[in-house]
Amino acid sequence: MRMSWERVKAYNIIAVFNGTHLSDEVVVIATHLDTWSIAPKLAFSANEALSIALLLELARFLRDNPPYRTVMLAFLSGHWQALHGAREFIERFYFSDVVQSDELKPVVFINLGPLSADTKGLSVMYGSYYAITMVEGITIILQPIVSVIRNEIFGLIDDYVRAEANASADEYVYLRLEDKMFWAQEEYPYLLESEVVTATGAIGFSIISRGPKLWRGTPLDDYQLVKDNIGRVKLDLVLSSYMALYFANKPDLGIRWSDVKPKRLLFVLGATRRFSGFVTMRGRALRFDPEKGWYSPLPKAIVRVYIPGNENPFAKIVEIADEEGEFTIHGIVPSPLIAASLIGGVEQRPTPGLAKGVVSRVWRVEAWLLDEKGHIEYAPDKGIYGEKSIPMDYYIINHPVNVSTVSFKCYSITIFDLVDPLMASGFATQDVHMPFQALKAIGASVEVYDFYGKNEPFAYGIYFNEREPLAMVFMPEGSVISIIVRRGGMALPPSPKPVLVVTNSSEETPEGYGIHVRRNLRFNFTAYRYAYDLYWLTIDRYNKLKERFVRNLSIEEFLAKAKRYLLLCQEMLRERRYSEAYRASILALMWAYRAYMDTMLLIDDSAITGLFLFSITLLSTFFLERLTTKGRGYRRIITLIVIAVVLMSLLYMVHPVLMIMSNASMSVLGSILLVLFTILVMFSISRAERIRKEISRRLLGIHVIEVDRFSELAVSFSYSLEYMRKRPLRTVLTMITVIVMVSALISLSSTSYTYMVTLVRKEVPGLYNGILIKSGIGIPPRDILDQHTIGLIRYFAHEALAVCPRVWYYPQSKFPKGVYTTVTKQPDGPATEITAILGLSATEVELLLANACIGSFNGFKESEHWIIIPDVLAKRLNVSLGDTVEIDGLNFTVVALLDMKSISAFKDLDGRAPTPVDPLYVPELGRGITIATQAAMLPPTLSWDRVVIIPYQRALEMGGYVSSIVLLPVGEINFDALRTIAEELIVPLDLNVFIGWNGVVYQASSVRTFAILGMGSISIVLVIGALNIALTFIANIRDRRNEIKIFSTLGFSPFDIVFFTFAEALSYSLIGIVSGYFLGFFINQLLIKMRVLPPDFVFNFASIAVVYPAVVIMLVTLLAATYPALQASKLVTPSLRRRWELPTKPKGDEWEIPLMMRIPSMTEAKAIIAYLNEYYKAVGREKRTFIVTEIDYAPKATYLTMKVSLAPFEAKIQQIAKVEAVRIGPKEIIFSIKLKRVSGPRETWIRSNFFFIDDLRKQLLIWRSLPPDQQAKYIGMVRG
């Protein structure tokens, strides 16, 4: 289609009729002049001319009958260009000097139309889908209008309306002037001039015809439609003009001008910050000029300004910049934050810093430039000098606002067939009723990368809308790129791995050679390209793994199927069977994607296991060096390097991680640096802790038993390795045991994941034979299918099966009832309301519903407009077979009535009724009126008397979506054939599949599971090995009794001995795991070559499963050492860490306790008292079990008195504690403590004192262990 952009001059036509009394007050009565059609030259629309004709008649009337207040008739153009004419009118009149100075006061703006020949009444409303402008408190602003219409006009016109329409005034005229659900009863997106008026805070509303308006946008001449129904629309013309003239002539409207005077910015701070107003945007279209290193203007650029997510194409502002790249746009509505509940069902995209349910509204500014052939020459730049430097999205919170947008010279690359390979459907489905909402909202993102650098290009652009099956990428000439598509971003988070790629891969260059941009490119059959590129990309990566003996049989099966469908696609293309070729390409893509994801999972596993093996190999290097040599200095470093090189070379030969990494050398270097950094950090922490302790000792004294765990760890490993060296035979035998266990686990067992299709019997009645396919329960935002899915299922289906899609159509939600529409008997018969429409195929109706229907179905398969109505609705409508009913402007012929008694018990194969889900329980369907439910509660289905059945094609055309697909037998078929089809569907598609056969229902599920072979016999090896290790350690303990006693003498605690034993066990396990891993590899290859193991035996070398045996061996070794370690710990003499018992009991509230410490001199006793005084004034003042509140100490004293509070502190236990040195002989002095209870329960006082006294006892023991110079310091204090 050839299309060009031109700037043309359009005109607003204004006629003014001065008021006879209130000439300064103005009532604006407006309509729009223009129309549109999908074929622009065939835009007839006699319906849209109705309001123009009405304004001309009003002009004739006002000429002869001057109004009470001034009337301005405004014929506005640019309606379908984002209300361009209305925005210019507001700018030039509402913000003119005469209005802002209060010379003229436009108190009411009334927009008439669109009026329609298929009217069902009138709606009085203010909002539309230009910017979803909702002024806080709009109900209050418009209250005078509501009051006049409801209390005055309705009373005046009621008799007339009843006579003409057989309805009351408030039934025929739907008054909807509130901010919530502003769309009244309009089914589809629309624009109203009144929206931009209310944005200023002024009063504006529209009077339009209610009805489907099926003529809108069609290239058909609707003059005859208007002519045939002029009597029907006459009432709308009369009532619209009457209401407009009533406001023009009513003396007092109850409106204060100060309240409704137009304002540039309105800001209201409420539940959410709400902006409104009428802002002028001044901007420049720019391009980055690399020669001067700055930006230059882009003359004549086509500037597009819009709200992202608003899918109403007529709400996008298009302007053409001047020679300096400058442009001006009036009527930008600022509204950064809106409560989502106010606009029904807004497509939710996360906005940083905003609460859930609050939508951030920004305006996006883009600039494009076309060449003389209509090709895109400049596109919006998302690169480093484009959007990364000058944003395209703007929050409008001031007037005027200055913006800039950057574009770059480019070629375009167009890709098609953007399909979700997990569901064989699009990534998003637009809600036809709400331009801001997608029914299916999986979402996707298109990304472009420099092919060689794998980074974001310097300059690039992307056009992509998830609702459309195509995307465009814009790149500078000479670029070489790859394109990827990620799934998610709307209702789901973005996927870490791409689902579609374009890399130009082939058998010769499986990683691709990139897209070379030298001209505009189009990948016309992109589905095949996605599948082809993904297939060869996966083949190459999988083969690299396979070369290193890493295999997965499921991946090989998926790749074989992808290849089969690719070849089939090529064959279909040669035969020009394009539809079948397309389906084959989608199938190839689905299988290639499954293989790709599983291959990438193997690669991720390899990276994890590679890091694990690399780490334990490095640790094993240190242990092996200490076991095999006694080198020191440079000799030790050389030995470590040699061992590390040997082990790393073996790891490189066996494990594929270094081969599949994009930069293996950097990865190895990084890992080594990480290990060295870890050691350095541990050393630094140890050094810092040592410095801290030195400072603490210097300032506070030595009052704590310090344990250096790092040193303790190093000593334990050093002793354990030295002991292993002393007994080489026992060490070798134990090591062989561990190595054999590891080798057996790795070489004789097989662990890999696979897909298993299971059939689970469901406890629901199977009312028909066939297959039911659906996603979840068929509701937004994820569980929606589409035409792609239908085509794919048809490809899978057996020739004896009919593919029967089911479509659910939900009308617009209307206040206050919610979702509903009306079914009306034709002509002019009764009407009734329904909640939803169920679209079925004629085949499914005949096969499943015939017994529940009243009717012969004669010839209904050939009809495209049949309908089946429940008998209860038929009674309300007074219809019978062959009658015609109308729904949303479409006529249907009644071919059958649904017997409610027979159909009520009908359940589908999933146990739910096939009727649509009740929209009140689904926010995306309720659109403003919903019922809150618990998270685990499934929304109920509608009863049959709330739906009608029509052909599914018609339901799709009306805006419905595919909720499920049923495969029904129409020929000879058996259960095995159904099961085969289900199994073919369930693995590549993320869908629910149910099979019904002879009254029994099965649910087919694809379960990803692990296949484990050989573990039965290996478990025996593990048990024997564990017992052998345990016996070895028991023997070790018996041989080392004397050594353990020496360790006890040196101060080793039972914990130290346990840790010592475990360090030895850990040394065995680490060296055994590394040695056993390499030995297991060679044994496995030898057994396969000797044909002892089957050729397709899956080895665990790079799988995450290799970590499990290693961890198992480590645990088995440590568990085997547990009993010997506990036995060894019992050989250690009880240390200071054991619990001490109090030697005496209290007498009443007093308690004297000897502290079992004897010293020879009173000078040392005084030094100890000074030492305790230092402790309780600082380190020991506040502990978890006591608090020292007061201290009484005199220098050189032989006693220390304290007031102490004991835990639990809420019991208010207090005591006086006196520590005293008592001479009992010439050179014999002992210490005791005397306690006196002051307050608190006595029993609790007794129990709580243990911790205080034990703490004091430990301080005395620490005094004994102080170095002589430290003791001399305190002795010098009391001597001086």
Structural domains in the chain, sorted by start: 13-263 (3.40.630.10), 266-409 (2.60.40), 411-524 (no CATH), 533-661 (no CATH), 735-749+1014-1137 (no CATH), 758-970+978-1010 (no CATH), 1150-1279 (3.30.310)
Sheet hosting strand 204-210, strand order edge to edge: 13-17, 69-76, 22-32, 105-112, 204-210, 121-125, 173-175
Report the candidate in 1029, 1038, 1039, 1063 with the shortest Cα–Cα distance to residue 1127. Answer: 1038
Q: What is the mean pLDDT of residues 259-272?
A: 74
Q: Output 1183-1191 pairs: Cβ under 8 A, ≥24 positions apart.
A: 1183/1251, 1183/1255, 1185/1248, 1185/1251, 1185/1252, 1185/1255, 1186/1248, 1186/1251, 1186/1252, 1186/1255, 1189/1214
Range in 500-504, 987-991, 1096-1100, 1214-1218 the model is least confident about: 1096-1100
CA distance 1138 to 1153: 19
Task: Give backbone dihedrals phi and psi of 908, rounded to 5 degrees, phi first.
Answer: -80, 180
The pLDDT score that the predictor gives to residue 819 is 93
Distances in Å between the alpha carbon of 1037 and those of 44, 724, 1032, 1044, 1130?
A: 102, 13, 9, 8, 11
CA distance 1217 to 1249: 11
The pLDDT score that the predictor gives to residue 1082 is 80
pLDDT digits (tens, 9 = 90+) for 360-390: 578 999 999 999 888 999 999 999 999 999 9
pLDDT at 1115 over 70: yes
- Contact between 505 and 533 (Cβ < 8 Å): yes
pLDDT digits (tens, 9 = 90+) for 31-58: 999 999 888 888 888 999 999 999 999 9
pLDDT at 1 over 60: no
Residue 996, H or E segment: strand 992-997
Residue 1013, H or E segment: strand 1000-1013
Dmax (CA) for the chain in angstroms is 136
Task: Give backbone dihedrals phi and psi of 468, rounded to 5 degrees, phi first.
Answer: -110, 145
Rounded to the nearest integer, the mean pLDDT of the chain is 85
Reported as a pLDDT band with limits 50, 70 and 90, residue 1140 is low
CA distance 600 to 501: 14
The pLDDT score that the predictor gives to residue 2 is 63
Reported as a pLDDT band with limits 50, 70 and 90, residue 858 is low
pLDDT at 503 over 80: yes
945 CB neighbour count, 10 Å cutoff = 20
**Structure tokens belonging to residue 412:** 């375009």
Question: Is the previous residue joined to 781 through a cis bond, with omega within 30 degrees of 0?
Answer: yes
Residues 6+ apart with CB under 8 A from 656: 544, 545, 547, 548, 550, 606, 1101, 1102
The pLDDT score that the predictor gives to residue 330 is 97
End-to-end CA distance of the chain: 108
| Angle, helix 709-726 to helix 664-700, in steps of 10 degrees | 120
CA distance 224 to 1214: 103
pLDDT digits (tens, 9 = 90+) for 630-680: 667 777 778 888 888 888 888 777 777 766 665 556 666 666 677 677 778
The pLDDT score that the predictor gives to residue 727 is 76
Strand 279-289 with 750-762, pairing: unpaired
Q: What is the mean pLDDT of residues 1104-1130?
A: 72
- The amino acid that residue 85 corresponds to is G
Nearest-Å Rg of the Cα atoms of the chain is 42
Task: Give backbone dihedrals phi and psi of 154, rounded to 5 degrees, phi first.
Answer: -55, -40
Range in 964-968, 1049-1053, 1217-1221 the model is least confident about: 1049-1053
Reading phi first (left if > 0) and then psi (alpha if -120 to 50, else beta), residue 888 is in: left
Report the candidate in 840, 936, 942 with the shortest Cα–Cα distance to residue 895. Answer: 840
- Contact between 886 and 903 (Cβ < 8 Å): no
Strand 1199-1206 with 884-887, pairing: unpaired
- Contact between 1102 and 606 (Cβ < 8 Å): yes
pLDDT at 724 over 80: no
pLDDT digits (tens, 9 = 90+) for 552-580: 888 999 999 999 999 999 999 999 999 89
pLDDT at 1021 over 80: no
Reported as a pLDDT band with limits 50, 70 and 90, residue 344 is very low
Q: What sections of 1216-1267 are H helices per DSSP?
A: 1242-1265
Residue 582, H or E segment: helix 578-628
Place of tokens 């199927």: 561
What does the DSSP 8-state code read for residue 90? I
- Contact between 857 and 845 (Cβ < 8 Å): yes
Q: Name beta bridge partners: 74.
A: 14, 30
Burial group, residue 739, by CB count within 10 angstroms (0-12, 13-18, 19+) = buried
pLDDT at 476 over 80: yes
Burial group, residue 667, by CB count within 10 angstroms (0-12, 13-18, 19+) = middle
More confident position, 1098 or 122: 122
CA distance 448 to 473: 8
Q: What is the mean pLDDT of residues 505-515?
A: 93
Report the candidate in 1130, 1103, 1120, 1112 with the shortest Cα–Cα distance to residue 1065. Answer: 1120
More confident position, 100 or 182: 100
The pLDDT score that the predictor gives to residue 273 is 46
Reported as a pLDDT band with limits 50, 70 and 90, residue 1098 is low
The pLDDT score that the predictor gives to residue 748 is 63
Strand 438-441 with 428-430, pairing: antiparallel
pLDDT at 255 over 50: yes
pLDDT digits (tens, 9 = 90+) for 532-554: 999 999 999 998 888 877 778 88
Q: Name beta bridge partners: 358.
A: 339
More confident position, 616 or 465: 465
The pLDDT score that the predictor gives to residue 520 is 95
Range in 7-21, 86-100, 1213-1227 the model is least confident about: 1213-1227
The pLDDT score that the predictor gives to residue 1133 is 53
Q: What is the mean pLDDT of residues 1217-1236?
A: 89
Q: What sections of 1134-1186 are H helices per DSSP?
A: 1162-1177
The pLDDT score that the predictor gives to residue 341 is 41
3-state secondary structure of 775: coil
Residues 6+ apart with CB under 8 A from 389: 406
Q: What is the mean pLDDT of residues 1222-1245?
A: 90
| Residue percentage of the chain with pLDDT more than 90 | 47
3-state secondary structure of 439: strand
More confident position, 772 or 348: 772
- The amino acid that residue 340 corresponds to is A
**Structure tokens belonging to residue 506:** 């082939």
E strands in 272-427:
273-277, 279-289, 294-297, 302-306, 317-320, 326-332, 337-339, 358-360, 363-370, 376-380, 393-394, 401-409, 411-415
Residues 6+ apart with CB under 8 A from 1055: 1129, 1137
Q: What is the mean pLDDT of residues 300-316?
A: 92
The pLDDT score that the predictor gives to residue 678 is 75
Reported as a pLDDT band with limits 50, 70 and 90, residue 681 is confident
CA distance 854 to 90: 59
Report the candidate in 911, 860, 905, 901 with the shortest Cα–Cα distance to residue 881. Answer: 860
**Structure tokens belonging to residue 927:** 């659109």
More confident position, 1100 or 435: 435
Residues 6+ apart with CB under 8 A from 576: none
E strands in 1111-1260:
1150-1159, 1186-1192, 1199-1206, 1213-1225, 1228-1239
More confident position, 360 or 1253: 1253
CA distance 1230 to 1224: 7
CA distance 1200 to 1173: 7
pLDDT at 407 over 70: yes
pLDDT digits (tens, 9 = 90+) for 941-1000: 999 999 999 999 999 999 999 999 999 999 889 999 999 888 888 888 888 999 999 999
Burial group, residue 939, by CB count within 10 angstroms (0-12, 13-18, 19+) = middle
Question: Is the previous residue joined to 114 through a cis bond, with omega within 30 degrees of 0?
Answer: yes
Give the CA angle between residues 1222, 1226, 1232 to the nearest 5°. 15
Q: State the pTM of this model.
A: 0.81
More confident position, 271 or 277: 277
